Amino acid sequence: MKPIHLLLSLLLLGFSVQPTTAQNFNQALQSELSASNPGILFSIHSGDGKLAWSGAVGINDLSLGDSLQAGQTFRIASVTKTYVAAAILRLMEKKVLRLDDPISKHLSPTHAAILAQDYDLEQITIAQILRHSAGFFDHTHAPEFFEKVFSVPVYEWTRTAQIQLGVEKGEAVGPPGGQFSYSDMGYVILGELIETYTGKSLDGGIKELLGLEKLGLIQTDFEGIDSKTDQLRIHQYFQGKDTYDFSPTMDYFGGGGILSTTAELNGFFQALFQGKIFENPSTLALMLESGSYASKPKLDYGMGMYRVKVNGLEAYCHSGFWGTQVLYIPKLDLYLSANYSGGWGGKAVAPIFEKVVNALEESKKP
């Protein structure tokens, strides 16, 4: 890696981070750079506000050699599901829908007709879709999906086209409620409900239901909505290929679609866990409640959120295809988020989180 790839851009927020701590964080970030991962964005915040730090290392556009900046935005991909799930739960709180409603009650006639070819929509509930237990085939698992994405990167997908692909190229993976099977298609369907019951775009509906702008999350937008947010977007890489010009519609309708910053990801998670999103604390408890199945699932998943371990500590998180992960560690009252511009791969938890927690513990030693 050329020296320019090690250029550093750091943003210190507040005065609570000591120089030694910042240096340790910086070293942890730089250790994650590689030929396949040219850059990383990172933020850490404590729930009490005493710790707030954001940093960036590495290169943004490899063709230009420009440095990443801590406040840049990126495609958060499936982390969008946490926002979608929270928005659906807000619709539940508003008594617009019930989680045990059959999805047939809420779908457009067009999508109901397509899905009914493979699924009994009277037996699939909203709760099951939120938990990825509805039995939906994931349209992204159809070989034709990524063949189209990589052969025609600018291809404009629609929600209907993705649902149609999932029905044409796959079968139900099991009975409703019988298993955990992660499915983008389920959240694409949920995205439609948010649009239907708010009368707005998915971006506008989520912002209204979750109060994102009132929370000061002004650079959390669906791509194409806010020009400043779009202009701050970084280059993200897949198997060495720059995906900057890939159409956002490949992952836009609820399974993904949001652009954000690491600091704003932390801000959303903090609002969620500090009771600023839902009217009732019981709603958050419901969101975090794990599904129950005969066979142990690959992920300990609730509704748009799953549990992992970081240095032996329980954490709640979500990750996204383009190298994004955000998590909350209750015991430490810490919120952490990262984007690896080239992805990290191989582990449920991005390695930077364990390194930063270790660095924080080291900084506390006399």
Overall domain count for the chain: 2
Q: What is the pLDDT of residue 18?
A: 67
Q: What is the pLDDT of residue 17?
A: 59
**117 & 160 share domain:** yes
Structural domain contains residue 307: no
7 phi/psi in degrees, rounded to 5: -60, 140
**52 & 141 share domain:** no
Q: b/e for 137-163, b at 16 or more Cβ within 10 A?
A: bbbbbbeebeebbeeeeeeebebeebb
Structural domain contains residue 186: yes
Q: What is the pLDDT of residue 212?
A: 98
324 forms beta bridges with 320, 339
**37 & 86 share domain:** no
**155 & 92 share domain:** yes
Helix 202-210, helix 80-93: angle, nearest 10 = 60
**59 & 137 share domain:** no
Structural domain contains residue 314: no
Q: What is the pLDDT of residue 3?
A: 32
Segment 195-250, tens digit of pLDDT:
999 999 999 999 999 999 999 999 999 999 999 999 999 999 998 999 999 999 99
Segment 75-120, tens digit of pLDDT:
999 999 999 999 999 999 999 999 999 999 999 999 999 999 999 9
**179 & 270 share domain:** yes
Q: What is the pLDDT of residue 359?
A: 84
d(CA 324, CA 303): 18
Q: What is the pLDDT of residue 7?
A: 34
Does pLDDT of 298 surpass 90?
no
Average pLDDT over residues 315-329: 97
| C-alpha 182: how far from chain center | 14
CATH number at residue 193: 3.40.710.10
Q: What is the pLDDT of residue 11?
A: 36
The pTM assigned to this predicted structure is: 0.94
Range of the domain at 41: 3-74+330-364
**119 & 233 share domain:** yes
